[in-house]
Amino acid sequence: MIRVTVIYGPPASASAFDAHYKDVHCELVAKMPLLRGFTYSRGGVASSDAAKPVHLVAFLDYDTKADLEASLGSEEGKAAVADVANFADGGATILTVEI
């Protein structure tokens, strides 16, 4: 399994970020083909580095690396990736690991 972890830094407006993420971004992600699972955590997120606080962490799961690449290359995947610039003004770090 391939897991993509997206770590979002604190945005300028937490309420605007949260509303866009829930009402727009999650809908775009849910449409991505070959996505095996999608979860996120807004509450209880803590960082071991106080200089790098975290606002939200998202997890996207795929069966294979090929599935991830195909999903990201799809129109739905491109739309979800492009949408990040609309709300993630606190930055986003993306980790991709094989489990």
Note the pLDDT tens digit of each residue in 8-47: 999 999 999 999 999 999 999 999 999 999 999 986 677 7
Specify whether the CB–CB gap between 54 and 43 falls below 8 A: no
Residue 93: phi, psi to the nearest 5?
-110, 130
**Two structure tokens written together for 3:** 């897991």
- Domains by residue range for the chain, with CATH: 2-98 (3.30.70.100)
Q: Give the type of residue at 4.
A: V
pLDDT, tens digit, 9 for 90 and up, residues 57-99: 999 999 999 999 999 999 999 999 999 999 999 999 999 999 9
d(Cα 36, Cα 82) in Å, to the nearest integer? 21
| pTM greater than the 0.75 cutoff | yes
Does residue 51 carry a pLDDT above 80?
no
- pLDDT score recorded for residue 48: 76
